[in-house]
Structure 1
């Protein structure tokens, strides 16, 4: 019955390295399913991670008890930071044997993969396995997307169940608050020298073209976020200024002179991030960020929920950036402004787009 649900959810490709506690899962493996075998669990996660990113849907992973999960944790950290939707399963010993703490039992199974999963669960009854998969699918896919974990006792796969009919419709988009969006747009329109910092969530949510359009409307410098695991802006574009850097000093130096820094689709990583300790204090303006799954004021400045793609609707609201005060000293023909480093041709006129 659980296989029917997995088929409905298009989870028919399984990446794994199984052991004895996964035998019951594989015993009646459907012919229309594909099992991709790896020699080590870290490779399992890496392959599933790539598969999920390319197909833009959750990938199903099958690991062996606690040992397999332990071997996979290194790449699980990367999948977590990359917001990759993975449904990771591992076998658990028979329920009746757990009281004796068997060698292949997964002690505190739901704790083992934390904090690198969004949700971790072991069904209390065999009848709950299909519902657990349905929730795991929704948790993995909904923003902010990420890995989830299910520990499934061996005997659960042999328990007969009645038909499973509760298949949920799951959305992978959220919308930002309209008023906050308008407030951000007003701040950007009022800025004289805004900088855009694009993180991996922009491209991950399908916002590549919209990001280019907004940058060109603002005539703003664009930087790549720290620890960028995927590009979100063409690196050969005239507005691209390269990666932002890793250290607080490097970031501060790179952003010096901007009166507003807008970070979009950026997941901060401690001190090596936009707005890290001491960084915002050395900027001439304000830093605010937009990322998935957050709302309100954070320790790095005001931010909004809605994800990079939905927040990109700022492009319909902001006015184009004001001209640089040093534009009169810029010569045409590819010269670069000494004041703001923009190509000279971008200083010839000021646009105002509502």
Structure 2
């Protein structure tokens, strides 16, 4: 990816992250919460350029479960920046053929099983309506014409490279507006394509997403209680198969794996925040009553012992954030 060829400048904000705890504060500012799926190989980066009526954010993401609330009164577009993008939203599989559009506010769930590169373009409400966003407070997926998509991607890359090596060009409103107009024209072409039929908001996917949301709420409401699949299915009035299928569809893992992962991250957050608390008390507070199994699962997920996390937090005062 072209991040290695970029350097920060007065026109380009460039940040690289090699540690999830350093990434958390930046994420929290955007009302997002990630559960990384590969802590040992964590790496992320983002480059930001501001134009007169839009902001371009190009990101190198990481394998994760992402929950985020987008607020885009002027509209936004998520554009794949590589040919191998792989993600899903509420069980809808996304790849490099599609782009995502939204205007208004929307709470979104994504699963990224691998590193992805994408651009998020946020438009100002002051931008003249170009007929792109025909409905508010809804995220929808569109098929991108390959040649048009490639052109838009190349324009984004060119703008970032220009901001890196020729930042003075962005000091002149006329030049910045010219760069922006080229990008807007490219999006005019993208939005002329037909929206993805049916799969953009499938009823089955929506039902699965609602079930996963109910599971999230249940885990938060009963952090210390053991959770059994049959009891959870009875609670929500569905079959065990339906419940397991919903989690597999939306989160890409089994129900047991998902609940354990959420509780492991919640425990880690408490360890990072704790002053005098012990590992055992933090573990039990999040439903881990067999400390040997907890320690093994924790080490397998975070590649360190829970006592190491706690000791590091006491030494550095490292802030945590609930995933």
Same fold per TM (> 0.5)?
A: no
Structure with a larger share of its residues in helix = 2
1 or 2 for the larger relative contact order (CA 8 Å, sep ≥6)?
2
Query: How high is the TM-score relative to the length of structure 2?
Result: 0.28
Structure with a larger share of its residues in strand = 2
